[in-house]
Each structure stands twice: as structure tokens, then as C-alpha cells.
Amino acid sequence: MKLELTRLVRTEKSTIGELYVNGKFECYTLEDVERKEKVFGETAIDKGTYQVVVTYSNAFKQNMPLLLNVPKFQGIRIHSGNTAKNTLGCILVGQTRSVDFIGNSRSAYKSLFSKIKDAAKKEKIYITIS
């Protein structure tokens, strides 16, 4: 499975993007701000391609997508949330977007995670962030 995240709107508080699954639009994303120097809890991960696996999250107490081998970061997951306050470098997903906000996040996550979970049973999953 190929996930593509294209970052589109940058503000002083967040980065909004679009996520595609195998070339088809899936949902919007919200991340922290892109920075040259990492500020803990306030910095988006570097652009690049990362493998995604499904593992148990102790923080969320459930299986969730995890990005592997992200330089300078640990525990980067894809999950629901609405603003940069809901992420510590993770990728939030939602069905609607506005300034520094994504909405209907739980619905977007449920749909995306179902696809990721099914794909993880039979193939490797990669996300490319640009």
C-alpha cells in the first residue's frame, strides 16, 4: 500500500495536507509546524518515505499505525485529533479542514485504519511525505 501525504497549508501553528491511498484522495491531515531545528512536541517530521506498521500503542491502548525509523523522533503514529495540541509530531487525519483545524477526525481515522489494517496482512505499507 502506498500512502502519499502532500503538505499544502502552513501557518505558525500547524501544517495541513492531503493524504492519498494508492493515488486516491482519502482525507486531510494536520501536523505540527515544519522547523529546521526540532522543538519537542511542536515540530513536524522530516519529509521522506517511511514504512508504516500496525502495532499496539501503550498511550492509546489499541493497535494503531506507526511510522518506522523517523529521524530524531520516536512513536510517530497516524491517529485522530483536531489541532496541533493533539499531536506530538504525529499525523492527524480528518474529513474537513479549516485554519489550524481538521474535523470529523474519528470518522476519517476509522476509514483509513480499516484500509491500513487490511493491507498490513498482505503487503508492506509506505508513506511518502512531500
Summarised one tens digit per residue, pLDDT across range 76-112 is 999 999 999 999 999 999 999 999 999 999 999 999 9
Average pLDDT over the chain, rounded to whole? 96
pLDDT band at 1 (very low <50, low <70, confident <90, very high): very high
Name the domain count of the chain.
1
Q: What is the dihedral of CA 99, 105, 109, 111, to 10 degrees?
A: -100
* 50-68 pLDDT per residue, tens: 999 999 999 999 999 999 9
Residue with cell 521522506: 48
Among residues 85, 19, 13, 78, which one has the least CA distance to residue 51?
A: 78
Tell me the mean pLDDT in the region 17-39.
Answer: 96
pTM: predicted TM-score of the whole model, two decimal places: 0.96
pLDDT band at 37 (very low <50, low <70, confident <90, very high): confident
Instruction: Give me the domain span that covers residue 75.
Output: 2-129
Is the pLDDT score of 118 beyond 90? Answer: yes
How far, in Å, CA of 125 to CA of 130, rounded?
17
